[in-house]
Amino acid sequence: MANFFFGLPLMVQGIAKGLAVILFIFPVAAACSMAERKVSAWIQRRPGPNRTIPPFFVGIPGASILQRLGIFQLAADGGKFFFKEEPLPNHVHKFYFILAPFIAMIPAFTTVTVVPFGAYLDPEGKVIPIMLANVDIGILAIFAVASLGVYSLILAGWASNSKYPFLGGVRASAQLISYELSMTLSVLPVFLWVNEPGSSGSLSLARVVEFQSHAGFWGGTWFLFTMPLSAAIFMIALFAETNRQPFDMPESEADLVGGFHTEYGAFKWSLFFVAEYANMIVGSAVFALLFLGGWNLLPWLPLSSLLEDLHRLTGSALWLNPLVSGVLSIAIFVAKVLFTIFFFMWVRWTVPRFRYDQVMRIGWKVLLPLSIANLVAYTVGIYFLQG
Amino acid sequence: MAVIQVQRKPLSLAERTYIPQVIGGLLTTIKYFFRPSETLQYPEQRPAIPPGYRGVPTLVMDPHGREKCVSCQLCEFVCPPKAIRITPGSVAQGAGVDHVEKAPQAFDIDMLRCIYCGLCEEVCPEEAIVLQNQFSMSGYGRSEMVNHKDRLYELGGTLPDKHFKWDKKKAAETGAGGHH
């Protein structure tokens, strides 16, 4: 089967892989909304949505577990978004109003192309990353495309032609632009460290993971331990970039009704929703790659030695099979991403929302100077360690 | 009155970075995450009704299966929202209920008006109207929300009676040495 796949034309391979990734991300992004409701419920000691079940599923063993996990509720919600009426208020700029949710979706799904999500061992025992496009611009492409996402919020807020969406759009633009600075600056030390002098430079995320899978104490350390400040700033900026609490200024349910999506409903609204969760998934994936060692199970235990250990312990050569190693590494990586998403939801119920001026103060007066100081400190450190 | 001077200490550096507080908060929320849910799964699980609960007003019968209400209409007059409507009637002679003089011919409680204050129960000299445990009522229209006499007895059932005051009175009247 693997031979058949690699025998296909490159274009077909790419399209198949792209579809596979989108077919994975779309349902996971939708399932995140249920996870959000469930995590919220459990933190507040409620059971959460647990009653919906189609009549023909009643009595099937196992269906009641799905019922209690709210899976049928998720399906019902999704179905509702497809079939309910599409409201299009009279006062909106119709073209841009319809365009905005699509603009939200496109960057959310485009950034996935440069995110590696696993690796496999090729017959020579080399670790080859699995990703849609292993391009050298990696993180730069993510930042460049992801920052286009803010246009959808501005466009939605402006095209809605009413005051709350407008305020939401203005806030969105200010917040996202402010936090992009410190986000970009916070990851620069990682790439300074990865691109040693003399080696060919690359901003690829696969390279960062490769760097965290070297042997030895310093080689196998995740960047979370060597650059905790970078990780913290990146995480906080990620909260702001994905409009999560405590930085949910563009939505601001409390003071702006629904913020930029006040006028939206039905399928267009759900597109914003899925785009937001897709952004969260990509953001969590980048965090896992940069700071949590990507597809390495534990710090100081890279994927290749994990597979060799499994091979030695069980005596089965199956572990060195490209397909098995690929699936295992993807599973490890997805587990990390899902944990990071859980962390997003966990923080949501822990930290109260910031006021708008506090958001701006944290962004410009705390995070930006911190990330600049961090960059300078690590640049000097790296100069003396590697130079 | 002692005056307590509250010391307003300036925030320490750790507090100003906000980090220990956030970590403490995360620990608190994760603790609650793993605790079992507090929710009562309502239609399947029912809440425990405490004694003295004021639910839907009902009419009760005495242990002989006779209706206790003598249609004195005190409850109708005391009812603040005027939810009770009684049409008094006479009792059938020789049917085992002639220990009293009157019985309600019709007894309607409009549950859309009732405020569950319990004044009817308090004022009733016969302990015939009792607010019992039922707390949820539903109907498809306004007319279904009016409890008629048969429905009121169905909801009320029979409660123990310690006094049998009319039986005693009647026995004293017919027997020797009565008060009258």
Ramachandran sector of residue B11 (left: φ over 0; alpha: ψ -120 to 50; beta: rest): beta
Place of tokens 């702006």: A256
What per-residue confidence (pLDDT) applies to A252? Answer: 66
**Residue A293 burial by CB count (10 A; 0-12/13-18/19+): exposed, middle or buried?**
buried
The values of phi and psi at residue A243, to 5°, are 60, 35
What per-residue confidence (pLDDT) applies to A317? Answer: 72
Nearest to A188 by CA among A385, A383, A386, A371: A371
A339 lies within 8 A of chain B by CB: no
What per-residue confidence (pLDDT) applies to B120? Answer: 92
Name every residue whose Cβ is closer than 8 Å to that of residue A370 and which is 6 or more positions away in sequence.
A182, A229, A233
User: What pLDDT band is residue A387 in, cutting at 50, 70 and 90?
Assistant: low
What per-residue confidence (pLDDT) applies to A198? Answer: 67
Which DSSP symbol is given to A201?
A: P
- Reading chain B (180 residues) residue by residue, the pLDDT tens digits are 789 999 898 888 888 888 888 899 999 999 999 988 888 888 888 889 998 899 999 999 888 888 888 899 999 999 999 999 999 988 877 777 777 888 899 999 999 999 999 999 999 998 899 999 888 888 899 999 999 999 999 888 888 887 788 888 878 877 755 454
User: What pLDDT band is residue A353 in, cutting at 50, 70 and 90?
Assistant: confident
Residues of B in contact with A36 (CB under 8 A): none
Which DSSP string corresponds to chain B?
-PPPPPP-PPPPHHHHH-HHHHHHHHHHHHHHHTSPP----TTTS-PPPPTT---SEEE-B-TTS-B------HHHHH-TT--EEEEEEEPPTTSS-TTSSEEEEEEEEETTT-----HHHHH-TTS-EEE-S------SSTGGGEE-HHHHHHHH-B---S--HHHHHHHHHHSTT---
The answer to whether position A275 is within a domain reads yes
Which DSSP symbol is given to A362?
A: I
Nearest to A370 by CA among A230, A193, A247: A230
Residue A37 near residue A343 (C-beta atoms within 8 A):
no
Nearest to A235 by CA among A293, A171, A292, A302: A292
In angstroms, the CA A260 to CA A97 distance is 11
pTM (predicted TM-score): 0.81
pLDDT at A231 over 80: yes
The answer to whether position A75 is within a domain reads no
Name every residue whose Cβ is closer than 8 Å to that of residue A161 and which is 6 or more positions away in sequence.
A91, A92, A93
In angstroms, the CA A121 to CA A127 distance is 5
What per-residue confidence (pLDDT) applies to B140? Answer: 92
The answer to whether position A2 is within a domain reads no
Q: For strand A127-130 and strand A118-121, is the pairing parallel, antiparallel, or unpaired?
A: antiparallel
8 Å CB contact of A45 and B35: yes
The answer to whether position B41 is within a domain reads no
In angstroms, the CA A179 to CA A344 distance is 17
Q: What is the pLDDT of residues A296-351, one digit of tens each?
A: 877 777 777 777 788 788 777 777 777 777 888 888 888 998 899 999 999 988 88
Report residue A47 as tokens. Answer: 């059971």
The answer to whether position B40 is within a domain reads no
B42 lies within 8 A of chain A by CB: no
The answer to whether position B20 is within a domain reads no
In angstroms, the CA A209 to CA A117 distance is 11
A44 lies within 8 A of chain B by CB: yes
The values of phi and psi at residue A207, to 5°, are -65, -40
The answer to whether position A80 is within a domain reads no
The answer to whether position B51 is within a domain reads no
In angstroms, the CA A237 to CA A247 distance is 9
Q: Is the peptide bond before B63 cis (omega within 30 degrees of 0)?
A: no
Angstroms from A275 CA to nearest CA on chain B: 27
Report residue A148 as tokens. Answer: 């286009």
**Residue A291 burial by CB count (10 A; 0-12/13-18/19+): exposed, middle or buried?**
buried
In angstroms, the CA A118 to CA A180 distance is 27
8 Å CB contact of B29 and A43: yes
A352 lies within 8 A of chain B by CB: no
8 Å CB contact of B29 and A47: no
Chain centroid to CA A93: how far?
31
The answer to whether position A268 is within a domain reads yes
The answer to whether position A69 is within a domain reads no
Q: What interhelical angle do A149-159 and A94-110 show, nearest 10?
A: 160
Q: What is the pLDDT of residues A107-146, one digit of tens each?
A: 888 888 888 887 777 777 677 777 777 777 888 888 888 8
- Buried b / exposed e along B31-53 (16+ C-beta atoms within 10 A): eebeeeeeeeeeeeeeeeeeeee
8 Å CB contact of A45 and B22: no
Nearest to A336 by CA among A294, A302, A304, A306: A294
Name the residue type at position B56: V
In angstroms, the CA A140 to CA A207 distance is 13
Q: For strand A127-130 and strand B102-110, is the pairing parallel, antiparallel, or unpaired?
A: unpaired
Residue A127 near residue A121 (C-beta atoms within 8 A):
yes
8 Å CB contact of A44 and B30: no
pLDDT at A257 over 70: no
8 Å CB contact of A346 and B35: no
Residue range of the domain that includes A260: 96-386
Predicted-assembly ipTM surpassing the 0.85 threshold: no
Which DSSP symbol is given to A265?
A: -
Residue range of the domain that includes B99: 57-159
What per-residue confidence (pLDDT) applies to B176? Answer: 58
Average pLDDT value for chain A: 83
Q: Nearest chain A residue to B39 by CA: give it.
A: A46
The answer to whether position A315 is within a domain reads yes
The answer to whether position B166 is within a domain reads no
- Buried b / exposed e along A132-141 (16+ C-beta atoms within 10 A): bbbeeebbeb
The answer to whether position B17 is within a domain reads no
What per-residue confidence (pLDDT) applies to B77? Answer: 93
The answer to whether position B38 is within a domain reads no
Chain centroid to CA A24: how far?
13
8 Å CB contact of B29 and A349: yes
8 Å CB contact of B33 and A351: no
In angstroms, the CA B129 to CA B79 distance is 12
Sequence-ordered alpha helix ranges (H) in chain A: 2-7, 10-43, 63-68, 71-83, 94-110, 138-146, 149-159, 163-194, 205-212, 223-226, 228-241, 253-256, 266-291, 303-314, 322-348, 356-361, 368-386
Domain with residue B106: its CATH number is 3.30.70.3270
In angstroms, the CA A254 to CA A353 distance is 10
B44 lies within 8 A of chain A by CB: no
Residues of A in contact with B36 (CB under 8 A): 45
A18-35 average pLDDT score: 82
What per-residue confidence (pLDDT) applies to B167? Answer: 81
Split into its structural domains, chain A has a count of: 1
In angstroms, the CA A356 to CA A250 distance is 10
Nearest to A186 by CA among A372, A360, A383, A366: A372
In angstroms, the CA B77 to CA A63 distance is 56
Split into its structural domains, chain B has a count of: 1
What per-residue confidence (pLDDT) applies to B110? Answer: 93
